[in-house]
């Protein structure tokens, strides 16, 4: 019952947006004046700052977080690193999961893919560690070249997409929502991910996604790794949602875990 009530609270919070702020671009980094960037890119006209919905993605490296200040700065969502490979759980995941919910910030979990484990193994590990909780954002598969010393191999595009689809199918069935796929410019092009059946979250810190990923549709754009958010010490990733607040509410109506 407690989980059900928590989920209902999150659904209401999502529909109301991410806190005080303006619906137009701010004169500095971020759509809200409270947000910033310690190393902003010179975007020219094709910048992310006019987007109405912004969020963060975090892991253990963010340390202690004042979630009330994060919400008050205009952040509308948080993606939290949960798992990696088939045996690693981020030590701050469970704490962040509870704290973000307590601050009424819609949150989801992401899995960092490890190429020396099968998609099925990694899906099972994610499911073992991430609650299926009403009102949560859809899961995310973070798949990129890892530069790992213990797992240096780079599978072929066919293997990459085959195993990614295994993960997406298993996790999607469990949570009732097919995961969003986060990826980087080099990985996307090296593996021709355009034909992967997925909703994308694209990293692009030096160019608009329509230029860097021509023709690809996306839900989220990670536009900086050096963002500044009140309530978080040091740099943090900032992300923009593709549409307006109204689009965000409609997206959530179909993509929240139920």
Catalytic positions? 57, 144
- Joined together, the tokens standing for residue 65 give 């977080």
State both tokens at 258.
Answer: 């139920």
What spatial distance separates the first Cα and last Cα of the chain, rounded to whole Å? 14
CA 12 to chain centre: 20
Spatial contact of 101 and 10, defined as CB atoms under 8 Å apart? yes
Cα–Cα distances in angstroms (integers) from residue 227 to residues 35, 111, 113, 130, 233, in the given order = 7, 21, 24, 26, 10
Query: Which tokens is 49 given?
Result: 């700052």
Strands 75-84 and 107-112: parallel
What's the rounded Cα separation, in Å, for the pair 53 and 76? 6
Of 238, 202, 230, 237, residue with least CA distance to 217: 202
For residue 71, how many C-alpha atoms fall within 13 Å in the half-sphere facing its CB? 18
Tell me the chain's radius of gyration from C-alpha atoms.
17
Task: For residues 206 and 110, give the distance between their C-alpha atoms in angstroms, rounded to a whole number.
Answer: 23
Q: Given the structure tokens 């993606």, which residue do they identify?
A: 79
């Amino acid at each position: 019952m407690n989980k059900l009530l928590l989920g209902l609270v999150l659904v209401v919070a999502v529909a109301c947006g991410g806190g005080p702020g303006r619906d137009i671009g701010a004169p500095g980094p971020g759509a809200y004046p409270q947000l910033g960037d310690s190393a902003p890119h010179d975007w020219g006209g094709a910048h992310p700052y006019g987007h109405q919905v912004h969020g963060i993605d975090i892991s253990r490296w963010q340390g202690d977080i004042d979630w009330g200040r994060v919400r008050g700065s205009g952040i509308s969502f948080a993606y939290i690193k949960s798992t990696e490979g088939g045996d690693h759980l981020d030590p701050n995941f469970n704490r962040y999961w509870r704290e973000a919910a307590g601050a009424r910030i819609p949150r989801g979990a992401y899995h960092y893919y490890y190429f020396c484990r099968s998609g099925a193994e990694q899906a099972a590990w994610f499911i073992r560690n991430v609650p299926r909780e009403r009102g949560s954002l859809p899961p995310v598969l973070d798949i990129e070249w890892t530069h790992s010393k213990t797992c240096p191999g780079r599978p072929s595009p066919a293997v990459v997409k085959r195993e990614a689809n295994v993960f997406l199918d298993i996790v999607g069935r469990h949570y009732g929502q097919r995961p969003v796929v986060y990826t980087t410019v080099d990985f996307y092009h090296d593996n021709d991910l355009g034909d992967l059946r997925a909703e994308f979250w694209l990293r692009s810190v030096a160019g608009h996604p329509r230029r860097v990923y021509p023709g690809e549709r996306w839900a989220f754009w990670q536009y900086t790794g050096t963002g500044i958010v009140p309530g978080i010490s040091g740099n943090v990733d900032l992300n923009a949602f593709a549409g307006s607040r109204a689009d965000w509410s409609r997206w959530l109506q179909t993509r929240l875990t139920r």
